[in-house]
Amino acid sequence: MNPIEQFLRKVSYKFPKGYPDINDPKDWLMLEGMLKGMGINLNEAFTDFPKSEEEIDNSIIKNIFKAVKQYPHLKLEDPIALAPESPKTVKISRSLQRDSRFIPFISQQLGVKFNDSGAKYEGITIKFGEGSRGGRGVASKGLKFENELVAELELYNKEGLTEDNKNNYQYSRLIIEMSKEIGIKPGNFKVELEGGKNQSRPLKFEEGNPIVSFSAGTAAETLTDITITKDNKPYYLSAKYGSTLTFFNSGITKIFPKSEIEAGEIKNSDGISLLKTFGIDNKLFCRVFNEYGETNFSSESGASSLYDVNKIKSLIQSGIGEGYYMVHAGTKKGDQFYKVDSAYSQTASDVSAPIVYYGGSGGDGKRVDIIVESPTYFFKINNRNKAGGLYPTHIMCDYRKK
């Protein structure tokens, strides 16, 4: 019997079905928490690249960042990578590791000895790596997909899709679906890659209701990664790769100010409104961050009873948006192309009652997670610090299609 099978047999009795159902978000969170307790992190991804000290809360990591930035031959604006789920690990770009002058410099700056794998500095593990930079990380797979799809659309526009050239296409099925839905044919459209704009989607409050707003005006114009223009009409495509994705990722430092959390209660109207939307206990929310490292909150987690389901639906529907096409690859169900219109958005946001996890799935994290599901998606909404610090900086709505 292999170690994985031994582990599953040992813990299966704890799950309602007698085994962990990875399609059930509650089972997935339980399994995630168990593995985390064994030092196995399923969500580790070095996707945050701070460009200034102000983006880093941890004072020790801030010192590391400052030391790296002082290197006189530095060419990178964002030389380190952080993972929210690994707050005690920093990755320094391998381009600096390859520079023979850097290791002696950083060793002297920090007063520690570096070897080929990195170093330890005041409880922080320093490694060398690119994170999602350079085509090897979670985010870069999405960027790679966008570039490949644009290249194939340009090829289709020039040569069409035939028996003779079909082997030149990786995403022929998607292009056929687009030709049927949008009416693109060789020579009749233009394609533009826009994902690099990374346009913001901040939260705003309308009569106390939290919703996602869009910096480019409409959801479609903000969310587009690839824009096809045919007969002077734009068609917006949101390109996604992988199973677990994000609908919105909005800053909350003004909604949940550090000073109010430290005082033990959120008092500003927007913060109170957002907590009440999900039925999150105000003082318990603050305790999660103030008592991090001291208290496990697993016993406090569970189904919320004081939530506002209409506000949750409104928030998620605003985050999904409408007026664009979803192009989704890298899933077990194969490549998918479908229209996100008002009807789709309404059905997809028709969510169940929320389950609130104080301290995350294990009860000891510096985060508060909310699980809901609709006929279309499993949603995991989390409030956490994206740069490895303590107090929450963002609310993220991750989703997985059913």
**What does the pLDDT read at residue 98?**
86
262 or 84, which is more confident? 262
Provide the pLDDT for residue 154.
Answer: 96
Integer-rounded Cα Rg, in Å, for the chain is: 23
Q: Residue 235's pLDDT is what?
A: 98
Segment 148-198, tens digit of pLDDT = 999 999 999 999 999 999 999 999 999 999 999 999 999 999 999 987 666
Judged by average pLDDT, the poorest of 90-99, 231-240, 369-378 is 90-99
Q: Given pLDDT bands bounded at 50, 70 and 90, which one contains residue 22?
A: low
Beta-strand ranges (E) seen in 26-100 are 80-83, 86-92
Q: What percentage of the chain carries pLDDT values higher than 70?
A: 88
pLDDT for 83:
80
Residue 141 has pLDDT above 80, yes or no: no
> Assign residue 349 a region: left if phi > 0, alpha if psi is -120 to 50, beta otherwise?
alpha
Backbone angles phi, psi at 7, to 5 degrees: -65, -45
Quick one: pLDDT band at residue 60, thresholds 50, 70, 90? Answer: very high
The whole-number pLDDT of residue 136 equals 46
Contact 351, 313 (CB under 8 A): yes
CB contact at 8 A, 182 and 230: yes
Give the closest residue to 395 by CA, choosing from 221, 223, 249. 249
Query: Would strands 190-193 and 118-121 be described as parallel, antiparallel, or unpaired?
Result: unpaired
- Per-residue model confidence (pLDDT) at position 64: 96
Which residues fall within 8 angstroms of residue 285, CB to CB, at 6 or more apart?
A: 256, 261, 266, 275, 358, 368, 383
Mean pLDDT of the chain: 88
pLDDT tens by residue, 389-399: 899 999 999 99
- Residue 353 backbone phi and psi in degrees, to 5: -65, 145
So what's the pLDDT on residue 41?
52
User: Exposed e or buried b for every residue in 296-331, given b needs 16+ CB within 10 A?
Assistant: ebbebbeebeebbeebbbbbbbbbbbbbbbbbbbeb
**From 47-56, 86-95, 221-230, 373-382, the region with the lowest mean pLDDT:** 47-56
Closest C-alpha among 396, 389, 394 to residue 54: 389
In the predicted structure, residue 54 carries a pLDDT above the cut 90: no
- The span from the CA of 154 to the CA of 343, in Å, is 31
- pLDDT class for 205, splitting at 50, 70, 90? very high
Give the integer Cα–Cα distance in Å for 337 and 175.
9
How large a percentage of the chain has pLDDT more than 90?
64
Here the contacts of 102-111 (C-beta below 8 Å, separation 24 or greater) are 102/71, 102/73, 105/71, 106/67, 106/68, 106/71, 109/67, 109/70, 110/63, 110/64, 110/67
Question: Does residue 265 surpass a pLDDT of 70?
Answer: yes
pLDDT in tens, 317-373: 999 999 999 999 988 788 999 999 999 999 999 999 999 999 998 898 999 999 999
Taking a C-beta distance cutoff of 8 angstroms, is the pair 88, 97 a contact?
Answer: no
Contact at 8 Å (CB) between 362 and 284?
Answer: no
pLDDT in tens, 274-330: 999 999 999 999 999 999 999 999 999 999 889 999 999 999 999 999 999 999 998
CA dihedral sign, ordered 109, 114, 119, 123? negative
Q: Using 50, 70 and 90 to split pLDDT, how confident is the model at 386?
A: confident
Q: How confident is the model at residue 135 (pLDDT cuts 50, 70, 90)?
A: very low
Residues sharing a CB contact under 8 Å with residue 311, sequence separation 6 or more, in sequence order: 209, 210, 273, 276, 277
Question: How many Å apart are CA 201 and CA 246, to the nearest integer?
Answer: 12
Bridge partner residues of 237 (DSSP): 226, 325
Residue type (1 letter), 162: T
**Can you name the residues that pair with 369 across neighbouring β-strands?**
357, 382
Q: Cα 181 vs. chain centroid, distance in angstroms?
A: 29
pLDDT computed for residue 85 by the predictor: 66
The structure tokens listed for 332 are: 């077990």
Pinpoint the alpha helices (H) of 240-394.
258-263, 269-278, 282-290, 309-320, 342-348
Q: What is the pLDDT of residue 263?
A: 98
